Amino acid sequence: MGSSRSSALDALGQQIEAGVISRRQFVVRALALGLSATAAGTLLAACGGGSSNSGGGSSGKALTGTVQILVGYFGTGNQPAQAQVQEALATAYTQLHPGVKIEFLRIPSSSDAKTKLVALSAAGAPPDLVMPTGIYGTSLFLDEEIWLNLEDLLKRDGLTLDPYSPVTAVATHQPNYYGTSATGVVGLPVGVNDHALAYNPALFAQAGLPMPPTSWTDASWSYEGAFLTAAKALTLDGRGRHPGDAGFEPATVKQFGLGHFFRETLFFAFGGKYYDPGTKKATMASPGGIAGLQFASDLVNVHYVQPSRTVAASLGAGGGQGDEEQFLWKNGQLAMIDMGTSDISSYGKGAPFDFALAPMPAGPARRFSFLNLDVGCVVKASKNTDLAWEVLKYFSLEPDAAKRLAYDSYNEIPALKQNTDVFTSGVRSSLPKADPKVWIDGFEFAGADNEAWFPAFAEVNTLVGKAFDTIVDGRPAASVMPQLQATAQTEIDKWFGSHKLPS
């Protein structure tokens, strides 16, 4: 009896040291084993419990209650295999904290999830956590004060964002809202859908082109230089002629140099910026922004290296839902595409060729790729914020749980620095020609510029989307962008008329 109690106490000691049970649970279980309260407290101190980073109840309160997590809000996570991992993690957490129940509220489409979040919040019954949430998703409602600023909780628990890749930590600060002192934290990072340029090596070889570099600092790989040259050489009309050749027929192009590529990438790489927090002005019509959008339009309408929306729809198989180009890529009709890590399961797998990876080309102003960070957010109106925070810490900071959630469930690069290896080894084993280092190295050039909050975020983004559509359809960027900037400014001014930034 004595030895079994001793081994049980040893096990408890190991659990508290590993941070898998809370101090409270330790004491409760130690008392249940017949220890006096004083002895349990002494043992607890000896084990050093209470400094857990991982949702072990660092506040010292008993962890009991139910945490509801909304899944599907501007992120990923509702595929059966993804849900299975999340359920397993929830079960594991409940085993560590038997008083806690984790429920998932799964909404298949992000727009419906948004409606659900608004409706539940307005009804006074919001979910406790929303995850994964893209930075764009956090921006949509940031000024509606729907998210809890995690700054105080981090301070209270003696935590910092240092364990995360720096670029992910920066993105969580939302400086246009919380201020440039970078103290506000909208959510804890979980995973990154980092972007790079994927290409079909066989098409490059057929065109007699050198393979693109793998280094993000190779200056020769620029949009207006080697990239455009390659895109033209990789574009073929029905008679095998390239853009610029005599008799080239744009209407009969059967192979495009580029596809599934986003005009926003070019806007930022050429020096575009949506908003200047210093002057509170919309800044879309800067020379760089105009040049970037015009280049995006020229790729389609002048160089004919990228299919237009309608051509992609007519050639593809997506039903007008934006995944037409996946068909073209897999069919060998697109030589280069923008590929985020979460595209691996769709664009990456099932293609009859092994794709390779290159960095995003350099623009005149900078090299830019989408960061697409997913975070976990605590809902401010939750009646259970402390418990939600504990669960969020487990999912985001407890290394094993965070690894499984980010990579196994969301198919993303884990935001925890110590977990990036799982992505590297996973890609190496499943995608022989794709060097995962290209994605990882891209962190340094990645930004959430396209997702970061600014005033009247939803309204202005709608205007931006429409204006960019118009330009890519053929209207000159120089005439559209100033108009866009003026209307965006009206919305921004209206926002400042009815809102205030947090002090």
Partner 1 sequence: MVRQSQAAKLSGGRRDPLRRRNQLVAWGFLSPWALGFVLFVLGPMVLSLVVSFTDYPILRPAQTRFVGLENYETAWNDDLLRHSLAVTLLYTAIAVPADLVVGLVLALIMNVRARGVAVFRTVFFLPIMISGTGGASVAVALLWAFVFQPRFGLLNAVLRFVNLPPQLWVASTKQVVPSLALMSLWSVGRSMLVYLAGLQALPGEVMLAAQVDGASSWRRFWQITLPLLTPMVLFNLILGLIGALQTFTQAYVITQGGPRDASLFYLIYLYRNAFTYLDMGYASAMAWILFALTLALTLLIFRTARKWVFYAAEPPER
CB contact set of 435 (below 8 Å; sequence gap of 6+)? 214, 356, 357
Q: Name the segment binding partner 1 (CB under 8 A); options: 66-74, 109-117, 253-261, 427-435.
A: 109-117
Q: Which of 80, 240, 278, 319 binds partner 1 (CB under 8 A)?
A: 319
**Phi, psi (5° rounding) for residue 358?**
-135, 160
**Residue 501 binding partner 1, by CB under 8 A:** no
Question: What's the min distance (Å) between Cβ of 227 and partner 1?
Answer: 28
Neighbour count for residue 267 (Cβ, 10 Å): 31
Distance CA 280, CA 262 (A): 26
Q: Which of 104, 141, 270, 368 binds partner 1 (CB under 8 A)?
A: 141
Question: What's the min distance (Å) between Cβ of 357 and partner 1?
Answer: 28
Q: Is 124 left (phi over 0), alpha (psi -120 to 50) or beta?
A: left
Q: How far, CA to CA in Å, does 53 sit from each of 20, 22, 148, 453?
A: 10, 11, 19, 29
Q: At what angle do helices 23-32 and 2-17 cross, to 10 degrees?
A: 180
Q: How far, CA to CA in Å, does 323 sit from each of 15, 195, 250, 315?
A: 47, 17, 22, 11
* 477, amino acid identity: A
Residues 181-240 that bind partner 1 (CB under 8 A): none
| Cβ contact 282:228 at 8 Å | no
Question: What's the min distance (Å) between Cβ of 328 and partner 1?
Answer: 10
Q: Which of 115, 160, 425, 430 binds partner 1 (CB under 8 A)?
A: 115
Question: What's the min distance (Å) between Cβ of 95 and partner 1?
Answer: 36
| Residues forming beta bridges with residue 192, ordered by sequence position | 373, 413
**Residue 254 binding partner 1, by CB under 8 A:** no
| Cβ contact 63:22 at 8 Å | yes
Question: What's the min distance (Å) between Cβ of 57 and partner 1?
Answer: 30
Q: How far apart are the first and last CA of the chain?
A: 60
Question: What's the min distance (Å) between Cβ of 41 and partner 1?
Answer: 44
| Cβ contact 194:180 at 8 Å | no
Q: Name the segment binding partner 1 (CB under 8 A); options: 218-226, 274-282, 311-319, 412-420.
A: 311-319
Q: Name the segment binding partner 1 (CB under 8 A); options: 207-215, 232-240, 253-261, 455-463.
A: 455-463
Task: Give the tokens for residue 50.
Answer: 């209470």
- Strand order of the β-sheet with 334-340 is 256-259, 334-340, 195-199, 356-358
Angle at 369 between CA 299 and CA 110, to 5 degrees: 95
Binding mask 270-309 for partner 1 (x = CB under 8 A): ---------------------------------------x
Q: Name the segment binding partner 1 (CB under 8 A); options: 346-354, 393-401, 443-451, 459-467.
A: 459-467
**Residue 81 binding partner 1, by CB under 8 A:** no
Total site size for partner 1, rule CB under 8 A: 31
Output 51 or 111, the one with its CB closest to partner 1: 111
Residues 326-355 that bind partner 1 (CB under 8 A): 327
Task: Give the tokens for residue 233.
Answer: 């050489």
Output 145 or 152, the one with its CB closest to partner 1: 145
**Residue 475 binding partner 1, by CB under 8 A:** no
For 33-84, list the strands marked E by DSSP: 65-71
What does 304-328 look like in DSSP terms, one character per residue? Answer: --S--HHHHHHHSSS-SSS-HHHHH
Eight-class DSSP state of 33: T
Q: Which of 122, 125, 211, 486 binds partner 1 (CB under 8 A)?
A: 122
Question: What's the min distance (Å) between Cβ of 459 and partner 1?
Answer: 6
Output 248 or 495, the one with its CB closest to partner 1: 495
Question: What's the min distance (Å) between Cβ of 474 and partner 1?
Answer: 12
Output 130 or 140, the one with its CB closest to partner 1: 140
Q: Which of 187, 189, 243, 316 binds partner 1 (CB under 8 A)?
A: 316
Burial bucket for residue 483 (CB in 10 Å: 0-12, 13-18, 19+): middle
Dihedral through CA 281, CA 172, CA 440, CA 363, nearest 10? 0
**Residue 252 binding partner 1, by CB under 8 A:** no
Q: Which of 220, 314, 425, 430 binds partner 1 (CB under 8 A)?
A: 314
Q: Which of 313, 345, 399, 435 binds partner 1 (CB under 8 A)?
A: 313
Q: Among 125, 476, 92, which residue's Cα sits nearest to residue 294?
A: 476
Q: Which of 166, 320, 476, 482 binds partner 1 (CB under 8 A)?
A: 320
Question: What's the min distance (Å) between Cβ of 169 and partner 1?
Answer: 27
Q: Name the segment binding partner 1 (CB under 8 A); options: 22-30, 69-77, 388-396, 466-474.
A: 466-474
* 127, amino acid identity: P
Q: Name the segment binding partner 1 (CB under 8 A); options: 7-15, 115-123, 219-227, 405-413.
A: 115-123
Q: Which of 459, 478, 483, 490 binds partner 1 (CB under 8 A)?
A: 459
Residues 144-173 that bind partner 1 (CB under 8 A): 144-146
Please give the residue ranges that form the binding site for partner 1 (CB under 8 A).
111, 114-115, 118, 121-122, 140-141, 144-146, 309-310, 313-321, 327, 458-459, 462, 466, 469-470, 473, 498
